[in-house]
Amino acid sequence: MLSRANREACERATLPAYAQALRDRGVDYGMDACERDYRIGVIGVLVNLYGPSSARNSILDAFWAWDCEAVLSEAEN
């Protein structure tokens, strides 16, 4: 399991590369959309996670690091 700092660093490095790879293949997918979709994915994992506490803690860290609460607030409006 990655530390919180390593996990966040990997995510922050990987997401732009992922979005760029999609754009290189003709998919119109900007960083705002990529980050929002990632945040929604974090929420989905959090909602459905029944695994060990270390995995739950990692996904909770991602929830807060990616400000997923803001996405939930958007859904309320």
Residues 54-72 have pLDDT tens digits of 666 777 888 888 888 888 7
The reply to whether the predicted model has a pTM over 0.85 is: no
Single out the residue of 54, 33, 42 nearest to residue 11, CA to CA: 42
What is the residue range of 20's domain? 4-76
- H or E stretch at 36: helix 31-48
Number of domains in the chain: 1
Is the pLDDT score of 39 beyond 60? yes
Q: What is the pLDDT of residues 10-25, one digit of tens each?
A: 898 999 999 999 999 9
Read out DSSP for 38-69? HHHHHHHHHHH--S-HHHHHHHHHHHHHTTHH
